[in-house]
Amino acid sequence: MSHASGWEKRFDRFVQPFLDAWRHKKRRQWAPIYLRGLLLPGERKSIEPLAARVAPGHDQELRHFISESAWDQAEIEEVLWEKADAMLGGDDAFLIIDDTALPKKGVESVGVAHQYCGALGKQANCQSLVSATLAKDDVPVPVALRLYLPEAWANDKKRRARVDVPDAIEFQPKWRIALDEVRRLKKAGVRFGTVLADAGYGVCADFRRGLSEEKLFWAVGIISEQKLYPVNAHTRMPRPGPAGGRPRVRGLPTHARRTAKELVAQRGEKAWRRISWRDGTKGPLEAEFIAVRVRVADGPKTTNGVHLPGDEAWLVGERRHTGEVKYHLTNHPPNVALKTLASAIKARWSCEQAHQQLKEELGLDHFEGRTWRGLHHHALMTLICFAFLQQERLRENKPAA
C-alpha cells in the first residue's frame, strides 16, 4: 500500500460522518472533492485552480456547492466538534478566542471594511473573522470561524442583499459573537475548562461576566490602564445627607482605584518569579510573572460614573526577555499556583499557528466569492481539513505501544 493510498483511506473514513450530515447526493459527491483540493499542494486554492487540480472542467459544480447550495452548516459543524472533542476535549483543554483578518483589494465582498488587519499589521481593507480554537498541550484545532459584520454593513439593506446576508444577522460586536460561539460549543458538549482571549476581548466586562455565568474559568489580556481595586476593597453606603435632602442610594468604594500597571509596580522587583511553562525546541520557554489578587472596577457605577469594586480576580503581570510587560486577568481561585496561571496565559498563542496554517496551507484567505454563505462554507471546509491534518499528526506522534 502506498503512503498516498494510506492517508486517502484514512481521509475517506474521517470524512464519512460529514457526508452523512450533508445527506444530499450532489453535496456528498462534491464535498470530498473540494476538501481534497484544499488538502493537496497548490499555490492558489480558489475555485478555478482548485478545480483544475482535482476536478478539471467542473469548476461550476464546485462553485455551486460552496457559494450557492443551501446546506445546513450547523449539522456539519456538529460533526467537526465531535471529532475535535474526541481529539482534545476535557477539563484541561482551552478554548481560545481570537480573530483573524483576510485582506481584500475590493470593497464588494461581504463584511469588507477599512479596519485593523493583523495579517498586514495596519489598518487596511479586510474581512475579520472571529475564531474559536480548542487546544491542549499546544495542539490546536480551530472549531469556529464567524464573520464580523461591521455596523455600516449591517445597516445597509442594499449591500446586504447583494451578498445574501441572512435577515437574522444583525450587528454584533466581536465579543458578543465570541460569547455566542462559546455557548454554542458548550451546549453541543465540547469539553473545555478555560477560555483564553487577548485584550481586544478581555477589556470587555460583559464578555468576562458572560464566561463566568457559564461557570468557566477565563484568562484574558487587558490594557495597562485597566482600573482595579485592592482585593479588600468593598462598597460602603455614604452617610445620610443633610435633613430634608434626598436619601443616598448609591454606594461608594472604600479604596481608590489603581491601574494594572500601578498595582504590579507596587509589588516591587522581588515579587517577580521566573516561570517555565513548557519546553521549546531550543530549551525551556520562560518569562517572569507576578500575580496580585484584586477586584475589578466593573461593578455598578457611582453618581459620578466611577465603577465600584466587582468580583475578585487575579491580575497577572508577564515580563518578557525584552523587558516588555503584558497584563492579564483571570478568575481562577485564590489558591491556584502561579505556574498554572502562566501556562494558561501562554497557551493562547497556539491559535496563531493555526490561523497561519489555515491560510498558508489550506487557503482560508484564497476564497474569491463575495457572499456570506460562500465565505462561511469555504471557511468551514478549511476547518475540516485542519482537523484531519491534526488527527494525522497526532497519529504519527502517538508513542508505540
pLDDT at 1: 36
Measure CA 164 to chain center: 25
Residue 45: phi and psi, rounded to 5, are -125, 30
In angstroms, the CA 76 to CA 376 distance is 12
In angstroms, the CA 56 to CA 220 distance is 47
Secondary structure of the chain as H, E, C letters? CCHHHHHHHHHHHHHHHHHHHHCCHHHHHHHHHHHHHHHCCCCCCCHHHHHHHHCCCCHHHHHHHHHHCCCCHHHHHHHHHHHHHHHHCCCCCEEEEEEEEEECCCCCCCCCEEEEECCCCEEEEEEEEEEEEEEECCEEEEEEEEECCCHHHHCCHHHHHHCCCCCCCCCCCHHHHHHHHHHHHHHCCCCCCEEEECHHHHCCHHHHHHHHHCCCEEEEEECCCCEEEECCCCEECCCCCCCCCCCCCCCEECCCCEEHHHHHHHCCHHHCEEEEEEEECCEEEEEEEEEEEEEECCCCECCCCCECCCCEEEEEEEECCCCCEEEEEECCCCCCCHHHHHHHHHHHHHHHHHHHHHHHCCCHHHCCCCCHHHHHHHHHHHHHHHHHHHHHHHHHHCCCC
- CA–CA distances in Å: residue 156 to residues 108, 110, 371: 13, 12, 15
Grid cell of 245 as nine digits: 435632602
**Contact in structure between 293 and 311 (CB atoms under 8 Å):** no
pLDDT tens figures, 309-349: 999 999 999 998 888 999 999 999 999 999 999 999 999 99
- CA–CA distances in Å: residue 336 to residues 33, 165, 313, 354, 388: 49, 45, 11, 29, 35
pLDDT at 249: 66
Grid cell of 232 as nine digits: 479588600
pLDDT at 236: 87
pLDDT tens figures, 24-82: 899 999 999 999 999 999 999 999 999 999 999 999 999 999 999 999 899 999 999 99
pLDDT at 241: 62
**Contact in structure between 188 and 91 (CB atoms under 8 Å):** no
Measure CA 64 to chain center: 29
Grid cell of 178 as nine digits: 465570541
- CA–CA distances in Å: residue 234 to residues 237, 248, 294, 305, 309: 10, 17, 11, 17, 6
Q: Would you list the domain boundaries of the chain?
A: 1-192+361-401, 217-236+251-350
**Contact in structure between 216 and 182 (CB atoms under 8 Å):** yes
Grid cell of 181 as nine digits: 460561539
Burial of 227 (0-12, 13-18, 19+ CB in 10 A): middle
pLDDT at 2: 43
**Contact in structure between 377 and 73 (CB atoms under 8 Å):** yes
Residues of the chain with pLDDT under 70: 1-5, 240-249, 399-401
Conformation bin of residue 215: beta by default, left when phi > 0, alpha when psi is -120 to 50: left
Q: Return the percentage of the chain with pLDDT > 90, whole number.
A: 81
